[in-house]
Structures are given as C-alpha cells and as structure tokens.
Homo-oligomer: A and B are copies of this chain.
Amino acid sequence: MRLSCFFMPVLKEVPAGAEIVSHQLMLRTGMIRQSAAGIYSWLPLGLRVMQKIEAIIRQEQNRAGAIELLMPTLQQADIWRESGRYEDYGQEMLRITDRNERDLLYGPTNEELITQIFRDCVKSYKDCPRILYHIQWKFRDEIRPRFGVMRGREFLMKDAYSFDLDEQAARKSYQKMFVSYLRTFERLGLKAIPMKAETGPIGGDLSHEFIILADTGESAVYCDKALIDKKAPPADLDYESDLSAVMQEWTSHYAATEDMHDENRFQEEVSQADQVSARGIEVGHIFYFGEKYSKPMKCEVQGADGQLITLHGGSYGIGVSRLLGAIIEASHDEDGIIWPKSVAPFDVGLINLKPGNEETDHVSTKFYSALHEAGLDCLLDDTKERPGGKFKTMDLIGLPTQVIIGPKGLKNGIVEIKDRKTGERQELEIGQALAALTGMT
C-alpha cells in the first residue's frame, strides 16, 4: 500500500479523554475513531490488525476441532426467557422493540441461541461431542464505556460452545479449548497465563481466565515465575489425545487474579524468588457450566439405550477487538506501538525520503515490488512530508521493520534497515537488504 493512496489519519496531538496508552495510540495512529460512546469505527490500519488476529484465532479453533458458524447480532427475547436470564441480565442488555412490537435484543453473549440451535438440529448421541464457535459483534450497554476498545459497548468476540454427553466428556472439550488458547495467545505474541476463576454455583475446577501481563493492566495478578517461561504445545499436537498432562503442567503452579488471590498459599507454594506480582489484562475466559442452559431449554439427545440425555455445556470466549488494546498495552514504548510480527498491519514500512527523486523513487518501487512478491505486506511512505515527520509516523504505527531509502545512501548503493523493537539499525547494500528482508540469501 502506498501511503499517498491509503486512509490513515494520524493525529499529532494526544486526543482528550483517552486515559490509557492503548486508547491514545489507537486514536493517534488512525486505527479507530469513536462513532458514539463505546462504539468505534475501525479505520484501515486497525482493521488490518483485527483481521490478522481473527485469522490466528480461527486457525487455532479449527485445529482444535471446533467448527465455525455465525449467529446473528440480534436475538429474540423469548429464548432468554426460556433460560431465565432475560430479567436477570440487567441494564447491560440492549433491549429493542421492532416495528411489530416483538422483543429483540442485541446479543451480549450466545449461550441461549446456540443451545436452541443445537437442540433443534441434533437428536442423537452420535452427534456429540461438538464444539461450535463464531466470531461476531456483541453489545453490552456499559454505563460508563471507557478505555477505548478495552471496554467498549459494541465489541467483537470469539465465543465457542461445547456439547457433551457427560461431565467427563465435557472436561475433554474444556481441555481442547484450554490448549487452543495457549497456542492462540502465544502466536499473537502475548504471554497469557491461565488463572483459576470463579465457578459460581456450578462449582468444580473448570473455569479459567487467560491474563496477559502489562504494567498498565486493569487488575493485580499473582503467579509463579515458572508460568512465564512456559511454552505452548506445538502445532502438531494431537487434540484427540489425552491433554490432561498439558492442563496439569499449566495449572499446578500458583496463579491468581486479585479476586481469587490467597496470600498465604502464595507465600507457601511459591519461593520468594519466583513470586511475580504484576498487573494483568483479561483476554480470554473459558467456563464449564454443565446443564445450566440445556436443562431449562431441554437440550437433549437420545442415548444408545433410547433414554434422553441432557447435554453438558461449556463456553469459551476471546475478546477479539479488546485484544488490539491489550497487545498495545503489553507492547509499546514512548515512540509508539511495537507490533508483534504475527499481527502487524504491514510487515515492512518503506520510507522514501525524497519522493520525486528519480533514484529514491526507483529503489523504493523496487523494494515495494520485490517484498510484495515475497509475500510481505509493505506500507510505502511516498508522501511529501519531511524526513523527521516520516520517521516519527513510522515509529508511531510500529511496523516491525523499516527500510529507509534516501539519496545520500543511494549514492553508495546503500539503504538503512531499522528494527522497530530493538531500535537496531543496519546499513546494507540494496541486494543484501532485499535478501535479508525476504529471507533469501
């Protein structure tokens, strides 16, 4: 993409009202624009990151055997009356009346609707287990939306739902999603730590929040340093194998959010040197809820013996739009965002220091085409702005690699490559630079 043809309205000033750094940087880089309180438009730079995040989540859901579908944003109130949550949900639920006076609502989550679909479509135990997921916009009418996309009202969520014949089978589904989340967040360049969460009246040990560490995190978290150094299972893991050992490995160390923290246990179980007290941001939550929805909604299948079986369910959420904010909170410096390679809006930023100069134009175009052919996304700054402004903007938007092409360097056949994260600069001959960027030698 040539910057002269793109739509990236960078702001010079920190916008008023943006309290946290991710919100400030997303506005300043022209990634988002508020359209109403807690409701954002995703401008091209922001959307590119969101699409990359979505693609990774989708791949890892599919790998774990989950099947994608897509439920609508609006739901009938009646199914929420069936589950008993219509009255309970309170004012965060956006209630709507259509022209025929029917009660609708903008889905804040989808347990009821997926349970209705599964109940209506599946009749036999042979069609279990299943994990179904979708990536769809949700709405929660927060009384005071803030922190940009971190606590917006209209937000994108990946939510998966499992249907199993009994608790033991449901535990397997839970483990699949647990492992899938480890892989997902690692691929997003995040260090996410599963922490035991409230199970409420259901009880049991099957509820975890996935928390990433960031100095600006919303709540305090406590964990064993061992968890921070752990690697997620490899891509070729067999999700049909017994995943208990992986679960065990990740849940046997101390890790707790503020709500669940037990200082005494922390001191007992973790040696002083390994005690990590930090701030965290929740990016995922998985939960086994048993018959909570299937019982009132009669989500049943016929067993091998002809008897009806009430299914056991779980739900598994990732805050997709929230992740953009969370990644920035975890990865930025005073100059701007530092994108992990896997989700950067472009892989490489090319800076043509003197557009209109035959030589720099020629070499810029050469890099642009060659990188494109090697499968890399480039943003080429071919605008008339001064070099200082170009450097600032490129640092601000945080592409992993910058290539600086100026008339002085080109006199010696040289361009400069800068690594955004380390700040390291290298002067290379054009051929060497191209080889280094495309991974060819």
Known A94-B98, A122-B9, A132-B7; contact A41-B117, beta-carbon cutoff 8 A: yes
Contact residues, A129-155 vs B (CB, 8 A):
130, 132, 137, 139, 141, 143, 153-154
B72 adjacent to A44 (CB under 8 Å): no
Q: Is A120 close to B, CB under 8 A?
A: yes
Stretch at the interface among A63-71, A194-202, A248-256, A328-336: A63-71
Chain B residues near A411 (CB-CB < 8 A):
none
Nearest residue in B to A45 (C-beta to C-beta)? Answer: B69
A120 adjacent to B69 (CB under 8 Å): no
Chain B residues near A219 (CB-CB < 8 A):
none
A43 adjacent to B69 (CB under 8 Å): yes
Q: How far is the CB of A240 from chain B (nearest CB, A)?
A: 10
A 14-49 binary contact with B (CB < 8 Å = 1; else 0): 000000000000000010010111011111100100
Interface of A is mostly: mixed
A47 adjacent to B35 (CB under 8 Å): no
Contact residues, A385-409 vs B (CB, 8 A):
none
CA distance A117 to B41 in the complex (A): 9
* Interface-central residue, A70, A73, A153, by most chain B CB under 10 Å: A70
Known A33-B120, A99-B141, A113-B35; contact A41-B67, beta-carbon cutoff 8 A: no
B9 adjacent to A71 (CB under 8 Å): no
A 350-377 binary contact with B (CB < 8 Å = 1; else 0): 0000000000000000000000000000
Q: Is A308 close to B, CB under 8 A?
A: no
Q: Is A235 close to B, CB under 8 A?
A: no
B96 adjacent to A94 (CB under 8 Å): yes
Known A69-B42, A70-B41; contact A117-B33, beta-carbon cutoff 8 A: yes
Known A6-B67, A91-B99, A130-B7; contact A154-B117, beta-carbon cutoff 8 A: no
The listed residue (B33, B69, B116) touching A44 by CB distance below 8 A is B69
B41 adjacent to A69 (CB under 8 Å): yes
* Interface-central residue, A7, A30, A106, by most chain B CB under 10 Å: A7
Known A35-B76, A42-B69, A68-B47; contact A9-B121, beta-carbon cutoff 8 A: yes
CA distance A277 to B92 in the complex (A): 54
Chain B residues near A73 (CB-CB < 8 A):
73, 137, 154
A96 adjacent to B99 (CB under 8 Å): no
The listed residue (B33, B44, B69) touching A7 by CB distance below 8 A is B69
Q: Is A74 close to B, CB under 8 A?
A: yes
CA distance A141 to B98 in the complex (A): 7
Chain B residues near A122 (CB-CB < 8 A):
9
Q: Given A37-B102, A47-B68, 18 more contacts at CB 8 Å? A: A7-B132, A33-B121, A35-B71, A35-B75, A36-B76, A36-B104, A37-B100, A39-B75, A41-B69, A41-B71, A41-B72, A44-B68, A47-B69, A50-B70, A91-B99, A94-B96, A96-B106, A98-B141
Top-3 shortest CB links A-B: A9-B121, A42-B70, A36-B76
CB<8 Å pairs between A and B, sample of 16: A5-B65, A5-B67, A9-B121, A30-B121, A33-B117, A35-B117, A39-B72, A41-B70, A47-B68, A47-B70, A73-B137, A73-B154, A74-B139, A91-B99, A94-B98, A100-B143
